[in-house]
Structure 1
């Protein structure tokens, strides 16, 4: 039955998201402590989880579409209403959504820390190079230095 398969996929994804969230927390600590070897190991352990989450999401979408429903929240709710496991499906779906939001928040936090570290390292390199010129920002928000040639429209 598709409802039991979707429930299995949700349970698998909840487990994967829980692991991913723990890895993101470890990543935050490793970024703060600048432990590059640990960061690489964490990246290696994140990749299979992300692949699994993506594959399971596609399979859930395909199952919903095969049942004539849209692959969105409305389609899922319609699917769950017609299932004997309705309450469990909706509960697990909500749990998964909450975990995904937590992972996104942690990932954004880690990205901000990476960006701050990049700026810090860039400033340190400028000092080592003897270039104390202030940096400018380009249209993407990245820093560009005075010696970098840019057209007036890209300034």
Structure 2
């Protein structure tokens, strides 16, 4: 005789990934992102103070944290994929609808915290990239002044690098 589920109750599918395992991976992801968030703040400070040694150490720590975060993300995604759930927003929402209310609430709470810290980390990463880009442009300008190169004479060469075409300009004038 086949098992029958009572009508009107949420149907829990046995192929759903275990909530405790997903929540543990999500908490680990939150922890890794929090570490990355702290490292980005430290990197910003080191960029402001131009502490090259500290920047090199922070890059190594960030690389390790990013590798761990990637492994965490892959493990979480694999749990969903093995259960036939797509690891995207729609798949997560579908997963939540299949959970009892209290479990859905805890999963959603952890997932929301993960999304929030991820957005924060992205913003800080963009901030640091802007500082690096601005510093690089300033350094290029200073070097070109020291070399006696006029910025108006800088174009891109065939390999995509910047080339100095001042000499060609002078030849054309002759």
Is 1:77–1:90's contact at 8 Å kept on the other side of the alignment?
no
- Residue number in structure 1 paired with 2:115: 97
- Residue number in structure 1 paired with 2:93: 77
Greater radius of gyration (CA): 2
C-alpha separation in 2, matches of 1:19 and 1:116: 26
Is 1:136–1:143's contact at 8 Å kept on the other side of the alignment?
no
C-alpha separation in 1, matches of 2:132 and 2:28: 30
Say which of 42, 53, 63 aligns to 1:37.
Answer: 53
Cα 1:72–1:125 shift into 2, 3 Å: same
Is 1:134–1:146's contact at 8 Å kept on the other side of the alignment?
no
C-alpha separation in 1, matches of 2:109 and 2:162: 48
C-alpha separation in 1, matches of 2:42 and 2:96: 35
Is 1:25–1:106's contact at 8 Å kept on the other side of the alignment?
yes
Cα 1:60–1:120 shift into 2, 3 Å: same
TM-score by length of 2: 0.75
TM-score by length of 1: 0.84
Is 1:52 equivalent to 2:34 in the alignment? no
Is 1:135–1:143's contact at 8 Å kept on the other side of the alignment?
no
RMSD: 2.1
C-alpha separation in 2, matches of 1:83 and 1:135: 65
Q: Aligned-pair distance for 1:135? A: 5.7
Q: Aligned-pair distance for 1:145? A: 4.8
Q: How does 1:2-151 map to 2 (within 5 A)?
A: 2-84=18-100, 85-134=103-152, 136=154, 144-147=162-165
Cα 1:133–1:49 shift into 2, 3 Å: closer
SS state of the match for residue 139, structure 2? helix
Larger deviation, residues 116-125 vs 84-93: 84-93
